[in-house]
Structure 1
């Protein structure tokens, strides 16, 4: 591969020429250490296709909200209500499917419109709740900590009243497909997605290189760029291969063939593939990354987080920006509610409990600075994966629930301390 224009060569040589994100490598390394440690402790049960498949679908809901929490924390706010907002959105969607649509429109479970109308209602509810929080914070100058602490109590109990404290289910079959195991792409669809994602990643990396060349910025050597592309491609296709390796139990396949009046061929197997919830997470991650790096809204978010006073003096409407950020957080809570309730196949009163801790911890572990101005979407997603790995691993080896929470809380404090040390040593702004 050749470049059509010359650019300053990278002064680094060897592996340093790859110019990899050391923080990202550290988080990936931490996940690998956690996975290996729990695999040894559990007798080889942690690093298996089945467990890693379950780990991904358990991570999706928190990871989706963590991408929004990055924007909240970057602008020097906090949202303690995300788990309760998720519960309210879940209750709205469950009641829409089981009561509102059948009674008012005559559409019951299984009707083609049922899941989509329910999801639309949930997203609107999340946006309104989030926007209301943002109004209280931005225009009435009530600290976000207080507003969302109140929201934690209010919306959890609003969800209880919406359902009269009852578990609502089962939910619509199509709706349940967003939960993970009830809805996957299958082996062929997963490979198509993986190859498409790899192609897009290569195109994006090479496009970024050409953009740097066009603006006379230094770039990596071509071999280093190709090596990074190979690493990314290998990671994507390896992830797909891992999920495809998880086989559908033979009894489940037998029931499918019996329902269709067919005979299952002897020795027939089928892989689950990539869950639809993960496809949804990937879509959210792409959209949030584009917003953060390629839109005026994203630039305003990071500018406001870096220096709120300067941002306001430069003409940014920080009050309306706050409303938009919290409304976006509410929408992401609703999307997470779809994933969480679909995975459970019902709405329950305890859905989303302690998600506040998990979401904030995921964002902070992923490198989002509590003092604002710094944060990445991919970091928050990996942070969510690390948090879920800790909890799943401890549950697998028989650690009591109270001790699990002690460990998670300690990891959060440790992550902030390591972040402070990292920023001091690298000269990053605190």
Structure 2
């Protein structure tokens, strides 16, 4: 009792000595590592905007950036679970390319010629997508089985998968590019038709803001119920304003990017619309692949934070031996993680091939580097046991920002690879420093 009483003045003294920034961070409970990544992203954006002569921070480039980031962000959410359990998956890019080729062949050759289902048929895109998901699930199950039950290191299995599935993608069509794809399937790739327009984008923004308010209110109610410390009202209000501001700002940018003039003209002719002298402004709005990536991010966040499976994943990463002794079926959990990774690679393949309206043998090349870098930059530790889905998706946006900016600056592909590799090494180094400090 005496010790507890004597510690109170010391705690109050420490609290009073802490600066306003520390008090602000304690009140809002913001992750300093996440803030650092957001700050780095803003610095990169501003720097690229200046170096590109004002081309980077435009509605057109930011909209395209969001679409390009989607496929990497989708796979990065699964890579978080893989790395958290102290494994690695070097095959995701090759798996993506192979599955993309399978879905392309199904649409352009197998279904029309063998089953007589023409392009544009309502069932065409569904059959193609389901076939890709099944193949991804089977590939993930095979690799997961080899890793979990045959005790082959994940590095070796997925390194072999990198070579096997890249070769299999070529073998399916002997190196040919497969095109075109089903028009409905193409909607998953974005573009004027693959976006939801201004009105529905604002509807999504309002729903998202209401969801933010609900989560803050519900979180406060749950803290009170279980007698946990409460955040100050001003901190809750600040977080709500910031989150909603980011959502509304992102939608404003998406709605500021208009359809190309030629597409608008054809649309007006098809719908008997009169184009005014200043032109007809039709906003893209949020792209479908971005919505897919956000939906997967929400689902994966729920799985990792709100389910028993998610708790098992982090328990295995924290201490595999203790998890085994606690009765967790570590091998089955590991196998399921790679099955999820296979499914996400299939979704990413659908988004990428739909965006290009073709399945090519180069699809997914070196994407494994971007995905791993996105997860590590987003706070997933290669030592296992820690990582966030949101951080990985922000990491994907950061990596794609670098690539997009280097393209605008006219840098050659070899130099782009050098920069990406250097960023990955620096991210791992910073993760090591962070773990030693905290």
| Aligned pairs for 1:174-253 within 5 A | 174-181=184-191, 182-253=193-264
1:24 aligns with 2:34: yes
Structure 2 distance, partners of 1:167, 1:72, is: 31
Q: CA deviation at 1:180?
A: 1.5
| Aligned pairs for 1:12-411 within 5 A | 15-16=24-25, 17-181=27-191, 182-267=193-278, 268-411=280-423
Moved more, 37-46 or 157-166: 157-166
Structure 2 distance, partners of 1:202, 1:120, is: 36
TM-score by length of 2: 0.93
Structure 1 distance, partners of 2:119, 2:396, is: 33
Q: CA deviation at 1:86?
A: 0.4
Give the corresponding residue for 1:3: none
Max Rg structure: 2
Q: CA deviation at 1:261?
A: 4.5
Listed one character per residue, the Cα deviations across residues 59-80 of structure 1 (whole Å, up to 9, x for unaligned) are 0000000000000000000000
Q: Which runs of no fewer than 5 residues in structure 1 stay unpaired?
A: 1-10
Structure 2 distance, partners of 1:316, 1:19, is: 31
Structure 1 distance, partners of 2:425, 2:230, is: 37
Q: Secondary structure at the match of 1:195?
A: helix
Listed one character per residue, the Cα deviations across residues 107-164 of structure 1 (whole Å, up to 9, x for unaligned) are 1110111111100000000000001000000000000000000000101111111122
Q: CA deviation at 1:262?
A: 4.2
Structure 1 distance, partners of 2:140, 2:81, is: 13
Give the corresponding residue for 1:418: 430
TM-score by length of 1: 0.95
Structure 2 distance, partners of 1:219, 1:37, is: 39
Q: CA deviation at 1:251?
A: 2.0
Q: Which runs of no fewer than 5 residues in structure 2 stay unpaired?
A: 1-14
Q: Secondary structure at the match of 1:151?
A: helix
Q: Secondary structure at the match of 1:219?
A: coil
Q: Secondary structure at the match of 2:327?
A: coil
Listed one character per residue, the Cα deviations across residues 318-362 of structure 1 (whole Å, up to 9, x for unaligned) are 111111000000000000001100111100110000001000000
Aligned residues: 416
Give the corresponding residue for 1:5: none
Q: Secondary structure at the match of 1:406?
A: helix
Structure 1 distance, partners of 2:137, 2:370, is: 21
Q: CA deviation at 1:255?
A: 1.0
Moved more, 273-282 or 210-219: 210-219
Listed one character per residue, the Cα deviations across residues 37-92 of structure 1 (whole Å, up to 9, x for unaligned) are 01000110000000000100010000000000000000000000001110111111
Structure 2 distance, partners of 1:326, 1:296, is: 17
Moved more, 251-260 or 409-418: 251-260
Q: CA deviation at 1:24?
A: 1.1
Superposition RMSD in Å: 1.2
